[in-house]
C-alpha cells in the first residue's frame, strides 16, 4: 500500500470520526441541559433516578458502556443487532457525555448569585425569562473552558468506537499497521487527532472571546 492510498483510506475513516463527533455534540449538549432540570426536579424520585444515571455514566468506563449498548439488546431481547453498530455508538456517546455536560451546567448554574434571581423577579421577569435572558448567557461564559475540555476529550474518545469495529480513523490505523507492518498509520492518525483538537480549541477560544461583553 502506497503512502497516498494509506492517507486516502484513513481520511475516509476520519470523516466517520467527525460524523460521530458532531452527532454526539448535537445530541449530548441539549440532553445535558435536560438532565440538569431533571436533577433539580422537586419530584424526588426523578431527581434520584437522574443522580443514579449520572453516577453510572461517570463511574463506569465508556468502552464498557458502548459494549452494553451494542450487545445488551441482543442478550436481553434477542434483537437482531446487524446494522445497529453506529446507532449503538451514538447512543452510548450521547448518554455518556450528556452526564458530564449536565454536571458542568449544574456547576455553572449553582455559581450564580441568588440576588440576580431576586432582582429579575422584582423587575417582573418570569422564571423562564430570567433563566434564558439573564442566567444562561452568564452560565455559558463561565462554563466554556470546562466545555472545551470535554469537547477535546470527546475528539480523542471517538477512538473507542474501534471496540465495536467501527471503521473510524483509529480502527483503520490498527488494521493497516497490522497488515503493512508499519507504524506510519498511527503517526497519520495522531496528526489527524491533533489537527482536529487544534481546530476545536481555536473555535471554542473564538467563541469565548466573543462573549467577553458579559464580563
Q: What is the pLDDT of residues 71-86, one digit of tens each?
A: 988 888 887 777 788 9
CB proximity list for 93: less than 8 A, separation 6 or greater? 20, 24, 28, 62, 66, 154, 157, 158
pTM of the predicted model, to two decimals?
0.88
CATH of domain 3-214: 1.10.3720.10
CA dist., res. 166 & res. 209, Å (int): 36
SS3 category, 215: coil
pLDDT digit string, tens, across residues 14-69: 898 999 999 999 999 999 999 999 998 889 999 999 999 999 999 999 999 999 99
Q: Which residue has the higher pLDDT, 3 or 116?
A: 116
| Cα–Cα distances in angstroms (integers) from residue 175 to residues 1, 13, 171, 172, 193, in the given order | 12, 12, 6, 5, 17
Amino acid at each position: 500500500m502506497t503512502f497516498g492510498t494509506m492517507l486516502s483510506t484513513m481520511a475516509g475513516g476520519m470523516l466517520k470520526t467527525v460524523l460521530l463527533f458532531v452527532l454526539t455534540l448535537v445530541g449530548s449538549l441539549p440532553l445535558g441541559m435536560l438532565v440538569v432540570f431533571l436533577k433539580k426536579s422537586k419530584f424526588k424520585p426523578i431527581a434520584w433516578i437522574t443522580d443514579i444515571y449520572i453516577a453510572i455514566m461517570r463511574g463506569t468506563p465508556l468502552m464498557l458502556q458502548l459494549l452494553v449498548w451494542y450487545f445488551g439488546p441482543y442478550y436481553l431481547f434477542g434483537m437482531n443487532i446487524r446494522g445497529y453498530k453506529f446507532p449503538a455508538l451514538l447512543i452510548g456517546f450521547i448518554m455518556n457525555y450528556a452526564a458530564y455536560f449536565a454536571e458542568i451546567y449544574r456547576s455553572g448554574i449553582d455559581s450564580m448569585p441568588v440576588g440576580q434571581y431576586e432582582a429579575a423577579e422584582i423587575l417582573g421577569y418570569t422564571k423562564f425569562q430570567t433563566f434564558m435572558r439573564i442566567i444562561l448567557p452568564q452560565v455559558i461564559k463561565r462554563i466554556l473552558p470546562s466545555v472545551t475540555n470535554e469537547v477535546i476529550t470527546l475528539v480523542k474518545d471517538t477512538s473507542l468506537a474501534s471496540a465495536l469495529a467501527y471503521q473510524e480513523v483509529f480502527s483503520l490505523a490498527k488494521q493497516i499497521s497490522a497488515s503493512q507492518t508499519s507504524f506510519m498509520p498511527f503517526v497519520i492518525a495522531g496528526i489527524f487527532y491533533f489537527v482536529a483538537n487544534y481546530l476545536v480549541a481555536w473555535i471554542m477560544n473564538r467563541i469565548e472571546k466573543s462573549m467577553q461583553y458579559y464580563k
